[in-house]
Structure 1
Amino acid sequence: MDYQNRVGHKTGGGGPASAQDLASHNRDRLRRLALETFDLGKDPYLQKNHLGQLECRLCLTFHATDASYLSHTQGRKHQMNLARRAAKEDRNNFAMPLPKPVGMPRVSTVKIGRPGYRITKMRDPDTHQYGLLFEIEYPDIDGKPRYRLMSAFEQRMERPPDPHFQFLLFAAQPYETIAFKVPNQEIDDTPGRLYVNWDDTLKLYVLQIQFRPARTAKPLPALPHRPSVYQGVGPRFG
């Protein structure tokens, strides 16, 4: 900053400067420092319009010089708008559905046929519950078989589905899955009623199920008949 030709100036010494000169000098110094640390070319919100003015697309403000725009970016309004934009982007990213995980490829297994089986009908002498005993032979497996009940509306073999029946499935690799059509009644799963056992030595899978007795709806008691003629209580006045 040139301090020559000022009042009270001495050769070799600094002369007094006005407040306007000091403010201009500070603005230039801050502008140089800001340009060294902040690249205007990488600002996504900076745009120059057809009049040569600098426009902040985030705050919709116009600035004549780079220093004015840099001062605006450090102001409260611009910083608040930046915080709002960041919060909005975080909400949008959180609401986006996560990519579906890539599942494990299914391993195709060569089926070796259906297993041998025996089915025995049973009836409990104490509770008079009907039941079924399934004995499935799996001589060529290393794991343990599994079973599940399937509704008539899940299967696709019989159309239309019969709601009076359900299907009991047995599965074990590499055998084919077999299914049995059983009455659509509730299975009694109390201890001693439902029995499942896998004999690894004999390779025999045993399942015993018993059906709960069907519930019969009890008729509701009849309502008392209303008298056809009102019969008052108490003395009558003629």
Structure 2
Amino acid sequence: MVDRQNRVGSKFGGGGVSSAQQTERERKDRLRALALETIDLAKDPYLMRNHLGTYECKLCLTLHTNEANYLSHTQGKKHQAGLARRAAMEAKLARQRGDTDVLMPLRTTASGLQRAETKVKIGRPGYEVSKSRDPETNARCLTFELHYPELDDPRSVQPRHRFMSAFEQRVETPPDKNYQYLLVACDPYETVGFKIPNEPIDREEGKFVSNWDVEAKVFTLTLHFLEGQGKKK
């Protein structure tokens, strides 16, 4: 409870008057508390934890000291505007290409996220998916290996990935909330999607790893599920 007693301009025994700064701070605290209760960070495609232990927003290219600070950022105007621009851009590209289920890759430039140049697709990459378990925790593990042998200059591109909920995709109807989709894009190859269980993913260091081998033109991504936490409701 916020103590509003003994503030300038307030009467004895009254509730007191909040300043504009105090009101804004309380509003942000309420939003942060609400976000902590309702948002599952394991499903956020824009959250990345770096080697220093801090958090980065891949959408806004901002740095945050902890999860609460990042969640507060996601409720702000900059992040919400970025989400709206991203959704509008993907919808426009889908209409231009005549499809709705393919994620167009984006590239980062000095001016921010820009639409990738339109190129003729050369088909889907070859891929292998293997299942295993962590020898220490016995957690389930999935490894995705995608091959891009026809890339002309593998050093100038970087395969991108993101997670999509069952309610975003338009390939399978009705959507099944028990599953989510891992999308991997690398222009000019077609984007491919993998249907995986909709369960929390362990994003601790060494548990969620991706690697781009420019010599072999192979992209590898390994993820671990968090065991014992059940499916997201």
1 or 2 for the larger relative contact order (CA 8 Å, sep ≥6)?
A: 2
Between Structure 1 and Structure 2, whose CA radius of gyration is higher? 1
- TM-score of the aligned structures, taking structure 1 as reference length: 0.46
